Amino acid sequence: MTGLLEGKTALVTGAGHGIGRGHALELAKHGATVVVNDLGTSVNGEGSGRDADAVVDLIGARGGKAVADYSDVGDEQQVEELVGRAVDDLGRLDIVVNNAGIVRDRAIWNMSAADFDLVMRVHVRGTWLVSRAAATRWRSEAKAGGGSVYGRIVNTTSGAGLLGNFGQTNYGTAKAAIVGLTQTLSLELAGIGVTVNAISPGGVTRLSATLGGDRKALEPDERPEDEFDPKDPSLCCPVVAWLASPQAGHVSGQVIRAIGEEITLMDGWSRGATISNGGTRWDAEKLGARLATDVFRTRIPGLRLGS
């Protein structure tokens, strides 16, 4: 065990399998006590179980400290109790990694409203509820103390949210919403010293394996530590551990894509080409030519530049 997160307490949601499991193992490796949260559902959000227990046992076998939790992150009361237990039983909560998620992939003409609502409930509502519960306690601590606290939130987005993906209007929308939540939270919590960032991971997990093809989901602990596998979903976990550490106190409101051997800072919605009409109202019939040449850098057949 190393000491990058020594003395810190971390809550990781959806930590029973895949990326969340990797986060829990990585945070514990660096000295954090980890609350391993997992409702134990299927990838579609059905059923429940005690999947978190296996991760707690793994952490314990490696010399770390962890406790299991089976709360539903979409349930307001359960989330409040979960965060309360972390603070009361473990003495503090320093790090929140919002990772819980499910998929219900279908093209929009085959997707039910229930498929959309449940995915949004787990990803967006779940991330918001856990973040709110932690933020409320951190703000109270800051007001009672010196005005600031140690707090780290790391949310989870994906390529589907950043770039889009066929058949995932629910999942992609949820993951895009989490980016907006991350940026807004980073502004609201900056005054009390809390950083909020998002990670966009890759690799083959139980969720991504449902997309088809030759995909077999392996847990992070099922791979030899000395072998590099670009499909390993836990390759992003060291980035999360760093974001959760004191070293990353200057980083907030960022989206980092960590897939395989590459780490990429996403630029997001930045200002591109801009045109002005000099304080007069635009004419829709004339607007196309300006947009084509000055914004989209395309050409309209028969249009003479400068005309």
Active-site positions? 158, 171, 175
- Which two tokens mark 98? 């919002």
Query: How far apart are alpha carbons 34 and 11 in whole angstroms?
Result: 6
127 Cβ partners below 8 Å, 6+ apart?
73, 98, 100, 155, 156, 178, 181
3-state secondary structure of 129: helix
The amino acid at 161: G
At 214, phi and psi to the nearest 5?
Answer: -85, 75
Query: How far apart are alpha carbons 106 and 111 in whole angstroms?
Result: 5
Q: Single out the residue of 220, 222, 203 nearest to residue 156, CA to CA.
A: 203
* Structural element, H or E, at residue 195: strand 194-201
